[in-house]
Amino acid sequence: MIIGAHTVITSRDADADRAFLRDVLKLTSVDDGGYVILGVPPAEISVHPAEANDVHQFHLMCADVKAFVAEMAKRGAVCSAVDDQGWGLITQLSLPGGGKLPVYQPRHKRPKAMARRAPKKKAATRRPAKPKGRRRAGSVKKTR
């Protein structure tokens, strides 16, 4: 079934935003033949009622949004003022490509992270072992 989530962020300066996410936010990364894919911590999905479908949002979460904003300032990144939404404290992290990435400290209940299950392996087909100490029919035991 589901083994993870893959999020796509569009950007006018994808190279700068990838470098920012890797170097400033310290996300792990792998180059898959020209596309850099960044690792993120466990995620969750919330489905909200809306007038239209296919309008999706992506937020990062942190344990302490004020500490996050202070750390980003030390690293030269710009964050908006922290806004209390009730369900969480949120800031907008400015990306080098001009976009903004919401980062919030959740106050809502959070589900347990899904346990990652390894794919089931097919059992290897084995030939039955030859019985030890038995001779094939017609064979003669050699004696000296």
Unique residue bearing structure tokens 């935003």: 17
Per-residue pLDDT, averaged over 9-24, amounts to 94
- Residue 91 backbone dihedrals phi, psi, to 5 degrees: -130, 160
In 3D space, the residue among 57, 61, 121 whose CA is nearest the CA of residue 90 turns out to be 61
Share of the chain above pLDDT 90, in %: 58
On whether residue 134 sits in a domain, the answer given is no
CATH of the domain at 99: 3.10.180.10
Task: Name which of 74-83, 115-124, 132-141 the model is least confident about.
Answer: 132-141
Domain extent, residue 38, equals 14-45+55-106
Task: Name which of 19-23, 59-63, 83-87, 106-110 the model is least confident about.
Answer: 106-110
Over residues 69-105, the pLDDT tens digits come to: 999 999 999 999 999 999 999 999 999 999 999 999 9
Q: Is pLDDT above 90 for 22?
A: yes
On whether residue 9 sits in a domain, the answer given is no
